[in-house]
A and B are shown apart, each in its own frame.
Chain A
Amino acid sequence: MKDIAIEVKGLQKSFKQLHVLKGVDFEVEKGSIFALLGSNGAGKTTVVKILTTLLKQDIGTATINGFDVVSKPESVRQSISLTGQFAAVDEILTGRENLIMIAKLRHLTNPRQVADDLLNRFGLKDAAERRVSTYSGGMRRRLDIAMSLIGKPQLIFLDEPTTGLDPEARIEVWKVVKELSEGGTTVFLTTQYLDEAEQLADRIAILHEGRIIANGTLEELKNLFPPAKVEYVEKQPTLEEIFLAIIGKKEEK
């Protein structure tokens, strides 16, 4: 039997007249990267909020590491960490202070050491004493993710981690996610970018109009479509590739 980190059955949720989730089912294996793909307003964030105990579903069940999100929220919160859609960092505090604050709230014995380690790991050492309000979008996201790693949660939720980031910062975030997964952490991420799911995820589920309409590995999803036709096209570099090639020479700050 495989180890299941997240199990969701028949999840439904309405906001007043709006029936956002109409019966969502999926499982996430321990240690894997699971991407929930969907357009804006598909209900991805609602799923994340239910799984992270911020919102209660109307119908259906969701369990995290075997703990029900409704009846055992404290046990769920012990094993998860959330990086929300909008960087949940304190703008007025410095990067270091943000990390120390979360380490203290996780009741770790050496908050300063934890903060220093993460600042180094996420390339924020030089900006450690600056207020977060002066950070760029990418730095903010890295700090946000760093804050989520404090206390070594077994399961990390990333809600649209790269929305609004420039291509460089996106690739940095991808690198972090891959490292996390290699370290054994289960990663649940939502995204509206197909290439992001393609790059990162072991399994991809597509949420559309309140239901999961496809769920599988990239290969399995590709098999759902008719076999690829062979066409001859001249491969032009994408603007993203050009952009990255030009700035690639520039040393990282």
Chain B
Amino acid sequence: MDSIKKHFFSDMSVMLGRSMRHIFRSMDTIITVTIMPIAFMLLFVYVFGGAIQTGTDNYVNYLLPGILLIAIASGIAYTAYRLFMDMQSGIFERFHSMPIARSAALWGHVLTSLVSNAISVVVIILVALIMGFRSSAGVLPWLAVAGILALFTLALTWIAAIAGLSAKSVDGAGAFSYPIIFLPFISSAFVPTETMPTVVRAFAENQPVTSIVEAIRALLSGQPVGNDIWVALAWCIGIILVAYIFAMRVYKRKAA
């Protein structure tokens, strides 16, 4: 028992190494996760952007936070997919019948999700820089942005874990991510919420994406973040807690 606990982190790093290999060997996952948000960014900046009035002179700056959230939302579909495939293939049964901490297998997937989404976020920021994204933010605000994005990734990852663990088919495992990918469109990610009809506006202003987008945007442009950052953190941590409890319940049920 003690030896199992002692090895938890080394076991988890073996699991992480395993699923990172999966990611790097299926380049299509990296491509879909980064290309789609980049295409959105190009479309919004060079096609729609001219007609959108955001009150800022640099639309790439305005748009980037929302694009990053879309990238993470599409990235976690693969987390659910990888988890589902492991449940199906019997490799989880092998791990679970070995003297290793049972949750190591699940945490390996969670860490992989964090690392792979961090990679796609960095790639997208680099593309944004080429397109004219500029930030006056110092080290601390950037760290805060990284922290918020990591929490957002964790929140969605645990939702993905519920989907991946309980899905009956591959399609079911990934389907939950589509509404999440669409959430940024009904938020202040692309256009200010002021022009939306009352009901839509009420939804847009009170859903998690808006506060997260506003907090990141303020941090990157050196503006005061106000309440948004606390609302954003509350959303992320709240979702993490609820999704974690449900995911662990499903995991325990599936893995006796």
A residues lining the B interface (CB < 8 Å):
49, 52-56, 74, 77-78, 80-82, 84-93, 97, 101-102, 104-107, 131, 147-148, 157
In contact, A92 and B25 (Cβ under 8 angstroms): yes
Residue of A with least CB distance to B6: A107
User: Which residues from chain B contact A54 at a C-beta distance below 8 Å?
Assistant: 93, 96-97, 255-256
User: How near does chain B come to A172, taking the closest CB pair, in angstroms?
Assistant: 21
Residue of A with least CB distance to B25: A92
In contact, A84 and B11 (Cβ under 8 angstroms): no
14 contacts between A and B (CB under 8 A): A52-B97, A53-B97, A53-B256, A54-B97, A54-B255, A77-B98, A87-B90, A88-B91, A88-B93, A90-B18, A90-B91, A104-B10, A105-B100, A131-B25
In contact, A107 and B7 (Cβ under 8 angstroms): yes
Question: CA separation between A16 and B207, bound complex, in Å?
Answer: 40
Mark interface residues in B97-119 (1 if CB within 8 Å of A CB, else 0): 11110000000000000000000
User: Is B26 part of the binding interface, using a Cβ–Cβ cutoff of 8 Å?
Assistant: yes
Residue of A with least CB distance to B85: A91
B residues lining the A interface (CB < 8 Å):
1, 4, 7, 10-11, 14, 17-18, 21-22, 25-26, 89-91, 93-100, 255-256
In contact, B97 and A77 (Cβ under 8 angstroms): yes
In contact, A56 and B93 (Cβ under 8 angstroms): no
Residue of A with least CB distance to B4: A74
A to B contact number (C-beta, < 8 Å)? 71
In contact, A101 and B99 (Cβ under 8 angstroms): no
Question: CA separation between A54 and B97, bound complex, in Å?
Answer: 7
Question: CA separation between A106 and B11, bound complex, in Å?
Answer: 9
Residue of A with least CB distance to B14: A104
* Given A85-B90, A88-B90, A93-B18, also A105-B11 (CB < 8 A): yes
User: How near does chain A come to B26, taking the closest CB pair, in angstroms?
Assistant: 7
Residue of A with least CB distance to B7: A107
Q: Which of B17, B22, B99 is most buried by chain A, counting CB atoms within 10 A of its CB?
A: B99
In contact, A89 and B91 (Cβ under 8 angstroms): yes
User: How near does chain B come to A145, taking the closest CB pair, in angstroms?
Assistant: 12
Q: Which of B17, B91, B96 is most buried by chain A, counting CB atoms within 10 A of its CB?
A: B91
In contact, A81 and B99 (Cβ under 8 angstroms): no
User: How near does chain A come to B79, taking the closest CB pair, in angstroms?
Assistant: 15
In contact, B99 and A78 (Cβ under 8 angstroms): yes
Given contacts A77-B99, A89-B91, 6 further A-B contacts (CB under 8 A): A54-B93, A56-B256, A88-B90, A93-B18, A101-B14, A105-B98
User: Which residues from chain B contact A74 at a C-beta distance below 8 Å?
Assistant: 1, 4, 99
User: Which residues from chain A contact B21 at a C-beta distance below 8 Å?
Assistant: 92-93, 97
User: Which residues from chain B contact A102 at a C-beta distance below 8 Å?
Assistant: 94, 98
User: How near does chain B come to A15, taking the closest CB pair, in angstroms?
Assistant: 13
In contact, A88 and B256 (Cβ under 8 angstroms): no
